[in-house]
Amino acid sequence: MHFWQDPQFGNRMITLMAALLLVLQIMMVTQRWLITSIRAFALQSFLLACIATTIAYYNNAPHIYAAAALMLVVKVILLPVHFERLARHIEIHQEIEPLVNAPISVITAGLLTLMAYVVAESFHRPDEPLGPASLGHNTLAVAIAIFLIGFFMMLNRRKALSQVLALLSLENGIFLAAISLTYGMPMIVEVGIFFDVLVGGVVLAILVHQIRDTFDSMDVSRLTRLKG
């Protein structure tokens, strides 16, 4: 048996990639350059597609290959390219000013990861029979951590485009949960969700553009006229 056919090897690869996913998410929290953030997001999505492929290979689940391919097209290529073009077009490749400074952001991200592990631990049942390349509760904890950190990132950002990026990375956490917990939801759901993410990303990008045109800035903290 070759080493790549060993389910244990697949399991370790998935855990490794999931850890990298979390590292990228924390890197995006502290990242001040918009273009770098977009690329980190693309890399994160690429790793997610790799995890999906690995799971599909070890579990003989062909429909997850399709999910991975969709992820590759939409979240690794289409959306990042679109966003990068937008960022260059409206010339905001300088820094993103977060509301909370970098050290405190990292500490917050660490605390959120801790919380995610506490939540995921409650789902862990060691007596349950494990399938081939079944994912440890590690992956679920990482998924919840990415979700929570994405949430924090949305609150912490002032630029419209970086809020959209935070939203999309938050959704990466959900997809990680979806493929790791359930080996992919039924195919039709995945196709629909990706369609939605694509359309949502484009719609938000257009809105970002309109905000830029109207306010001459992408600073959403200026959107404070409606009250009460």
Q: Provide the binding-site residues for another protein, judged by CB under 8 A.
A: 61, 119, 122-123, 147, 151, 154, 160, 163, 167, 170-171, 174, 177-178, 181-189, 192-193, 195-196, 199-200, 203-204, 207, 210-211, 214-215, 220, 223-226, 228
Instruction: Tell me whether residue 3 or residue 214 sits nearer to another protein (CB atom).
Output: 214
In this structure, what DSSP letter does residue 184 have? S
User: How far from 193 is each of 28, 174, 186, 207, CA to CA, in Å?
Assistant: 24, 11, 11, 21
CB-side neighbour CA atoms (13 Å) of 195: 6
Instruction: Tell me whether residue 9 or residue 217 sits nearer to another protein (CB atom).
Output: 217
- Shortest Å, Cβ 159 to another protein: 12
User: How far from 85 is each of 81, 155, 162, 194, CA to CA, in Å?
Assistant: 6, 24, 14, 21
- Shortest Å, Cβ 120 to another protein: 10
Instruction: Tell me whether residue 108 or residue 217 sits nearer to another protein (CB atom).
Output: 217
Instruction: Tell me whether residue 6 or residue 61 sits nearer to another protein (CB atom).
Output: 61
Instruction: Tell me whether residue 46 or residue 147 sits nearer to another protein (CB atom).
Output: 147
Helix (H, G, I), strand (E, B) or coil at 170: helix
- Shortest Å, Cβ 214 to another protein: 5
Please tell me the distance from the alpha carbon of residue 214 to that of residue 25, in angstroms, as a whole number: 31
Number of other CB atoms surrounding residue 156 within 10 Å = 21
- Shortest Å, Cβ 2 to another protein: 28
- Shortest Å, Cβ 84 to another protein: 21
Element at 148 (helix H, strand E) = helix 137-156
